[in-house]
């Protein structure tokens, strides 16, 4: 496929840049699971040598986006359904604690931070900007729980997961923004049960989007 190289290569190493472009193509399903990636082809599309592409492949493999198979090359990794369901179950189980603790420690600054993140999400230019804001929204809530162990657990779940991201599609982004707004509304109303239901709905919708990709 034709790769649209719109990123600024001056501010990052070539391998980092190639990695970002490939991640964006993978999570947006432009490079669907099972796609074989050819080093020389991608290097030509990006206008760079094969070496940084090879380095990018190694980073992608370490992060679980691709698999490097001996004698077969690099293949976009298929979604592990068992892993996806395991992550989903953990997040669902922790939603009550997350929302109850965040509401318990509510303050106006917390609500304003979440509102500002949502506004930035609405105008995000690309996957990485939106994905970063999405994570920031959840990190802000985790911090507000004032529970260090909870924060460690949530970060471990998110950083160790190799799930496909729901925010890789326009539909996913719309659902995430709507879900974040519903969560914020419930938090501002100091209604932990409603906030929990909003979080569970967001998780459910995100899971459906990933499953239907």
**What digits encode the pLDDT tens for the residues 46-92?**
899 999 999 999 999 887 789 988 877 899 988 777 878 888 999 99
Q: By the 8 A CB rule, do 111 and 187 touch?
A: yes
Strands of the sheet with 36-37, listed across from one edge: 36-37, 73-76, 66-69
pLDDT number for residue 141: 97
Q: By the 8 A CB rule, do 178 and 63 touch?
A: no
CATH 1.20.120.530 domain span(s) along the chain: 81-211
24-33, 107-116, 170-179 — which is least confidently predicted? Answer: 24-33
Pairwise CA distance, residues 65 & 164, whole Å: 8
pLDDT number for residue 163: 53
Place of tokens 């920031």: 136
pLDDT number for residue 9: 46
Average confidence (pLDDT) over 164-189: 89
3-state secondary structure of 182: helix
> Which residues lie closer than 8 Å to 48 by C-beta, 6 or more apart?
9, 14, 18
Q: By the 8 A CB rule, do 27 and 173 touch?
A: no
CATH 1.10.10.10 domain span(s) along the chain: 9-76
Spell out the CATH class of 9-76: mainly alpha
- Residue among 154, 15, 18 at smallest CA distance from 7: 18
How many Cα atoms are found within 13 Å in the side-chain-facing hemisphere of 118? 18
Instruction: Return mean pLDDT, the chain.
Output: 87
Q: By the 8 A CB rule, do 114 and 137 touch?
A: yes
pLDDT over 70 (residue 93): yes
Average confidence (pLDDT) over 113-122: 97
Spell out the CATH class of 81-211: mainly alpha
3-state secondary structure of 205: helix
pLDDT over 50 (residue 188): yes
* pTM, rounded to two decimals: 0.76
pLDDT single digits (tens) 134-169: 989 999 999 999 999 999 999 888 766 655 567 777
């Amino acid at each position: 496929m034709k790769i649209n190289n719109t990123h600024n290569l001056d501010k990052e190493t070539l391998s980092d840049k190639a990695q970002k472009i490939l991640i964006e193509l993978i999570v947006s399903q432009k490079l669907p699971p099972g796609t074989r990636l050819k080093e020389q082809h991608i290097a030509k599309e990006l206008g760079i040598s094969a070496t940084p592409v090879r380095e990018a492949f190694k980073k992608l493999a370490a992060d679980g986006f691709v698999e490097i198979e001996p004698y077969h090359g690099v293949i976009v990794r298929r979604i592990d359904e068992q892993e996806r369901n395991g992550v989903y179950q953990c997040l669902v189980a922790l939603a009550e604690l997350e929302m109850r603790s965040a509401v318990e420690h509510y303050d106006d600054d917390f609500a304003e931070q979440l509102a500002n993140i949502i506004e930035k999400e609405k105008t995000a230019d690309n996957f990485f900007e939106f994905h970063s804001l999405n994570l920031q929204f959840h990190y802000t809530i985790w911090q507000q729980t004032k529970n260090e162990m909870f924060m460690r657990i949530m970060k471990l779940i998110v950083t160790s997961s190799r799930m496909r991201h729901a925010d890789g599609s326009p539909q996913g982004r719309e659902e995430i923004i709507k879900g974040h707004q519903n969560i914020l509304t419930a938090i501002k109303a100091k209604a932990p049960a409603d906030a929990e239901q909003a979080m569970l709905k967001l998780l459910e919708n995100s899971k459906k989007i990933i499953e239907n990709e």
